[in-house]
Chain A
């Protein structure tokens, strides 16, 4: 039995990583989603627009560039599923949730900065997605999402 494990050590390590990736990855993802939903409710008062020109602008308001960014890594299980997916094509559901989490997190951080500065609306919001994946073996698979825009800040009373 011991011999068998030693002979197939590579495969055993792979299975362990896969299991760890699956369970830990799922736990991390669902706790992240819970936190995202909670903070989205908290920050729902801060509006976000893709338009460049605010509908009504007052001379007393000031502006500031606000941004939020996050780098989120894929887990081992997702990587494996994606590598199988590549054979058949189609929807990469495992990566869709990864990008969704990154984008929502970046938006939340941008809104938090706007709130900190006293803003209640962010205009001309732009997204930028950057693949941080490095190296084929022993590298990492991660994505950075940046969200930025201009916060309209109400004058202090």
Chain B
């Protein structure tokens, strides 16, 4: 499965557009991470736990989008975008969406 945020793929022609696919997930931090982040908040700097948490969340959203694309018979998702929303204290929703296509 090819994932890209361009609208073209070098050397390949788009045979069929299958419409939009999306994947989203909501994750929250656990308490331990938050306590560490509280300390880190005094001195500043990167919050590695949160960086990883959001990366995992984004990977999960991407995977769900790709699964959906696979289910409708696509072999590539083009023009992919990400969107992040804070929906409750400590919880974030990440959405990945794009256009499913069949490449020749």
Contacts and interface: CB of A to CB of B under 8 A. Distances in A.
A150 B7 CA distance: 10
A152 B89 contact: no
A17 B42 CA distance: 7
A74 B41 contact: yes
Interface in B63-88: 80-84, 86
Interface string A133-150: 011001111101010111
Contacts of B4: 63-65, 150
Contact of A140 (B8, B38, B48): B38
Contacts of B50: 71, 132, 142, 144
Contacts of B2: 63
Interface string B40-66: 111111111011001100100000000
Contacts of A20: 42-43
Contact of B42 (A21, A29, A130, A150): A21
Interface size class of B (residues with CB under 8 A): 35 or more
Interface string A1-33: 000000000000000010011001100110010
A75 to B, nearest CB: 3
Chain B interface, >50% SS class? mixed
Contacts of B81: 126
A63 B84 contact: no
A42 interface: no
Contacts of B83: 128
Nearest to A109: B51
Interface residues of A, number: 53
Nearest to B51: A71
B10 A63 contact: yes
Given A69-B55, A70-B51, A76 B41 contact: yes
B11 A144 contact: no
A24 B41 CA distance: 11
B51 A144 contact: yes
B41 A57 contact: no
Given A67-B58, A75-B45, 18 more contacts: A20-B43, A54-B6, A60-B10, A62-B10, A64-B4, A65-B4, A65-B80, A70-B46, A75-B44, A124-B6, A130-B54, A131-B86, A132-B86, A140-B34, A140-B38, A144-B51, A146-B84, A148-B82
14 contacts: A32-B45, A32-B46, A52-B7, A60-B11, A61-B10, A63-B2, A73-B37, A73-B45, A74-B41, A132-B86, A139-B89, A140-B34, A142-B50, A144-B84
